Amino acid sequence: MDELKLKVAKEAFNYVENSIERDTIIGVGTGSTANFFIEELRKITSRLEGAVASSEETARRLKSIGVPVYDLNTVGEVQVYIDGADEANEYLHLIKGGGAALTREKIIAATSQEFICIADESKLVPILGKFPLPVEVIPMSRSFVGRQIVKLGGDPVYREGCVTDNGNHIIDIFNLVIDHPTKMEERLNQITGVVTNGLFANRRADQLFLGTSSGVKIINS
């Protein structure tokens, strides 16, 4: 599986290298596939003005290869955002947040001119929801949010010991069939105490670079 992740990370890097101008600021996500992409960035650190990171771990990795990391508030928007996904469908709706960085990932995606998702072929599914959907919640609202999730048909499980970079908690929703991702994203976000959820449907990916055994397949939204 790592071989497919490396293959798709290299393909995404080639795309970014050929499409960005000098002194560009890019967005970089969190996770194992994104980490392979970060390693590729070593080749063009001199061309980048810097990056916006979706997590403290990603910021650390970027700094370790010489890429300056900026606060998004000082940048405004990023030209391109590269990140992985836990699940994706053919419409490029995604589930993200297995690494608990969903809120910052969603913010960067919203401010990016182009959002490229990189994943291996196992992440492409016909209907989202087999992977537990993460929801970031204000700590004191955790039980209330869980009860509301049950009303929506899901099984909420508190992610023990997980505190996000924002100081919040994560509830993972199991057994939720997500046949209307945009509507479900909105319904979950309307629950009081929810910071955001891991559905990226209203701001879906623009392109999906999918690593397969026969090469990298590119799916456009």
Model pTM? 0.94
Stretch 42-70: mean pLDDT, rounded? 95
Q: Report the CATH number that the domain containing residue 161 is assigned in CATH.
A: 3.30.70.260
Whether residue 53 sits in one domain with residue 145:
no
More confident residue, 19 or 113: 113
Residues 54-61: contacts with CB within 8 Å, 24+ apart? 54/27, 54/28, 54/29, 54/30, 54/83, 54/101, 54/104, 54/105, 54/108, 55/30, 55/99, 55/101, 55/104, 55/165, 56/165, 57/30, 57/99, 58/28, 58/29, 58/30, 58/34, 58/101, 61/35
Q: What is the mean pLDDT of the chain?
A: 95
Phi, psi of 168, rounded to the nearest 5 degrees: -110, 180
Whether residue 171 sits in one domain with residue 76:
no
Whether residue 116 sits in one domain with residue 9:
yes
Q: Report the CATH number that the domain containing residue 80 is assigned in CATH.
A: 3.40.50.1360
Instruction: Tell me what pLDDT residue 37 has.
Output: 96
Domain membership of residue 170 as a residue range? 133-198
> What is the domain count for the chain?
2
75-128 confidence digits (pLDDT tens): 988 999 999 999 999 999 999 999 999 999 999 999 999 999 999 999 999 999
Whether residue 49 sits in one domain with residue 64:
yes
Which residues on adjacent β-strands are paired with residue 216?
211
Q: Are 216 and 126 in contact (CB under 8 A)?
A: no
Whether residue 179 sits in one domain with residue 113:
no
The yes-or-no verdict on residue 22 having pLDDT over 90 is: no
Whether residue 142 sits in one domain with residue 112:
no
154-188 confidence digits (pLDDT tens): 999 999 999 999 999 999 999 998 999 999 999 99
Whether residue 65 sits in one domain with residue 159:
no
Active site positions, annotated:
105
Whether residue 156 sits in one domain with residue 214:
no
